[in-house]
């Protein structure tokens, strides 16, 4: 027998409980990435050249090394610091995922800010808006219009990367599927359901983002 | 610290094995991904509904279900169906399918981005559909798709670390072993991350080389190439010098500050 409906029915509630952790990691991770990404993108503009260079190197480093290894790295470091031993792996997970994706998002923000026509900067300067207001009231709203869809795409990518939390034994969707499969020897049902849940969550979201992209396009 | 370095030196042959495993996975995985991407990407641009729709479904399926789910499916479920796969084959297969689906989308969008006049020109010269694709459209699409493929290649390299979950001894797994034998997380993981970073950098340089070659074949330069950037900088410097010279000639009337107001952003 290849497919057993009883196992499938038994697996579903367990998987959905794991899915809650997946959603928490995605939501908090996205929040961290959205904020930190903007901070990086803005900071790079204002700082002296050598700090700027250093930040860029760090961003490239985080971007070009595996998320799994970063997760393990931070997890083991926290495990070695006496006060931080009790921090749940899930917290380590969303912090690291958030930082990892903030490096991608900072690039989207940067592209969005660069795409604001220079005339807008000049007009704001001509109206003698203070630099902070010029940025928050004139430049940023226009930049965000172009940036939001790509932030959404990264959020979906992050959602699909949450199974990597397996590396630090966070019981998210795929980890719970693996555990259930190992206990009942019902891998087929567990992993198939896990795949269906992923597809059911990510496909409609990416369709939504595609529509948003069309609506927000300025040209 | 000296202990760590001694352990590292003894560990080097093992580390090299891990690097090799990661490289094999990356190279074979990306070759598989490119083949899948070309087949599915071309099928998605087809005018034939019976090609387009199934290709679209396959792409969305492999993009939508996570890499790890696909890997575990190959590793845990296939043996139950009576197909025993080597873990290495599972790893390469999962990477190729997942990133192949992403790349197929890149291939499709690059092909439809090629200027419409090129299609019309090829039709006007009555080239056969195959020659139209291989001699006219694809070389131009190829130059367009390389930057996105380069990003995906780096993603694939990073994604290859998942194979440590299915008993394969790749770089990540070896670094974890190094951590256990040195008992020094900072030391071992910093080395691991640096090795990944260097591999990623080499891959990026290789893709840049491919892009330069592909665009040179079209008689163009790649957008924002080093030569172009240099020329832009030179022009900017020249303009600035002219500007300064002019304001100096105009004398005290213009004032030194007026030339570069609003130069902040």
Q: Do the chains contact at A65 and B193, CB–CB below 8 Å?
A: yes
Q: Do the chains contact at A69 and B196, CB–CB below 8 Å?
A: yes
B222 has pLDDT over 90: no
Angle (CA) A192 A194 A195, round 5°: 65
pTM of this prediction? 0.87
* Cβ-based contacts of A202 with chain B (< 8 Å): 63-64
**Residue B109 has what pLDDT?**
93
Residue recorded with tokens 């009337």: B253
Kindly give the interhelix angle for A187-216 and A5-46, rounded to the nearest 10 degrees. Answer: 40
A207 has pLDDT over 60: yes
Of A64, A122, A174, the CB nearest to B68: A174
Query: Cβ of B18 under 8 Å from any chain A Cβ?
Result: no
User: Phi and psi for B167 in degrees, rounded to 5?
Assistant: 70, 0
User: Phi and psi for B128 in degrees, rounded to 5?
Assistant: -70, 155
Using DSSP's 3-state secondary structure scheme, residue B60 falls into: helix
**Residue B23 has what pLDDT?**
96
Q: How close is the nearest chain B Cα to the Cα of A170, in Å?
A: 14
Chain B: residue nearest A134 by CA? B265
Query: Cβ of A133 under 8 Å from any chain B Cβ?
Result: no
Distance between the two ends of chain A, CA-based, in angstroms?
A: 56
Residue-by-residue DSSP string for B215-261: HHHTT---TT-HHHHHHHHHHHHHHHHHHHHHHHHHGGGT-SSGGGT
Mutation pick from A3, A23, A64 vs chain B, by most beta carbons of B within 10 Å, is A64
Confidence of residue B152 (pLDDT cuts 50, 70, 90): very high
d(CA B170, CA B116): 46
Confidence of residue B259 (pLDDT cuts 50, 70, 90): very low
d(CA B186, CA B11): 16
* Cβ-based contacts of A196 with chain B (< 8 Å): 65
Mean pLDDT, chain A, integer:
90
Distance between the two ends of chain B, CA-based, in angstroms?
A: 46
Query: Cβ of B89 under 8 Å from any chain A Cβ?
Result: no
Q: Are B237 and B248 in contact (CB under 8 A)?
A: no
**Residue B221 has what pLDDT?**
77
Query: Cβ of B61 under 8 Å from any chain A Cβ?
Result: yes
Residue recorded with tokens 């002019």: B246
Using DSSP's 3-state secondary structure scheme, residue A1 falls into: coil
ipTM of this predicted complex?
0.89
Fold of A5-216: MetI-like fold (1.10.3720)
Q: Do the chains contact at A64 and B179, CB–CB below 8 Å?
A: no
Torsional sign, CA B109, B114, B120, B124: negative
Mean pLDDT, chain B, integer:
90
Q: Do the chains contact at A68 and B161, CB–CB below 8 Å?
A: yes
* Cβ-based contacts of B19 with chain A (< 8 Å): none
* Cβ-based contacts of B60 with chain A (< 8 Å): 199, 203
A169 has pLDDT over 70: yes
Residue-by-residue DSSP string for B181-195: HH--HHHHHHHHHHH
Confidence of residue B94 (pLDDT cuts 50, 70, 90): very high
Confidence of residue B177 (pLDDT cuts 50, 70, 90): very high
CB atoms within 10 A of CB B33: 25
The domains of chain A are located at: 5-216
């Amino acid at each position: 027998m290849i497919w057993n409906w009883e196992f499938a029915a038994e697996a579903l509630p367990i998987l959905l409980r794991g899915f809650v952790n997946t959603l928490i990691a995605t939501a908090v991770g996205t929040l961290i990435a959205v904020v930190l990404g903007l901070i990086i993108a803005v900071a790079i503009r204002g700082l002296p050249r050598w700090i700027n260079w250093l930040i860029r190197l760090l961003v490239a480093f985080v971007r070009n090394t595996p998320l799994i290894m970063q997760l393990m790295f931070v997890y083991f470091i926290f495990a070695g610091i006496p006060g931080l031993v009790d921090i749940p792996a899930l917290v380590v997970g969303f912090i690291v995922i958030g930082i990892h994706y903030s490096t991608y998002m900072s690039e989207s923000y940067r592209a969005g800010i660069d795409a604001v026509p220079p005339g807008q900067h000049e007009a704001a300067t001509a109206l003698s808006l203070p630099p902070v207001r010029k940025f928050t009231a004139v430049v940023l709203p226009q930049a965000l219009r172009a940036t939001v869809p790509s932030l959404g795409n990264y959020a979906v990518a992050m959602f699909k990367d949450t199974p990597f939390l397996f590396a630090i034994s966070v019981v998210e969707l795929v980890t719970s599927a693996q555990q259930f499969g190992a206990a009942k020897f019902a891998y087929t049902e567990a992993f198939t359901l896990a795949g269906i849940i992923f597809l059911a969550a990510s496909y409609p979201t990416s369709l939504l983002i595609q529509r948003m992209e069309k609506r927000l396009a300025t040209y | 610290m000296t202990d760590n370095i001694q352990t590292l030196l003894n560990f080097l042959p093992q580390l090299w094995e891990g690097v090799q495993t990661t490289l094999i996975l990356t190279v074979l995985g990306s070759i598989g991904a490119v083949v899948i991407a070309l087949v599915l990407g071309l099928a998605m641009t087809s005018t034939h509904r019976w090609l387009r729709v199934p290709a679209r479904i396959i792409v969305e399926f492999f993009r939508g279900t996570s890499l790890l789910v696909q890997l575990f499916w190959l590793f845990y479920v296939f043996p139950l169906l009576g197909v025993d796969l080597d873990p290495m084959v599972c790893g390469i297969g999962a990477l190729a399918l997942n990133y192949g689906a992403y790349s197929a989308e890149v291939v499709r969008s690059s092909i439809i981005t090629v200027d419409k006049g090129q299609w019309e020109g090829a039709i006007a010269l009555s080239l056969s559909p195959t020659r139209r694709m291989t001699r006219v459209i694809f070389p131009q699409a190829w130059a367009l798709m390389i930057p996105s493929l380069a990003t995906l290649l780096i993603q694939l390299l990073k994604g290859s670390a998942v194979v440590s979950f299915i008993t394969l001894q790749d770089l990540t797994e070896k670094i974890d072993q190094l951590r256990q034998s040195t008992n020094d997380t900072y030391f071992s993981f910093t080395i691991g991350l640096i090795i990944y970073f260097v591999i990623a950098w080499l891959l990026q340089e290789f893709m840049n080389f491919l892009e330069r070659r592909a665009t040179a074949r079209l008689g163009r330069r790649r957008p924002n190439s080093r030569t172009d950037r240099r020329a832009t900088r030179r022009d900017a410097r020249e303009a600035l010098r002219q500007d300064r010279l002019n304001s100096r000639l105009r004398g005290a009337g213009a004032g030194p500050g007026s030339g570069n107001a609003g130069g902040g952003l």
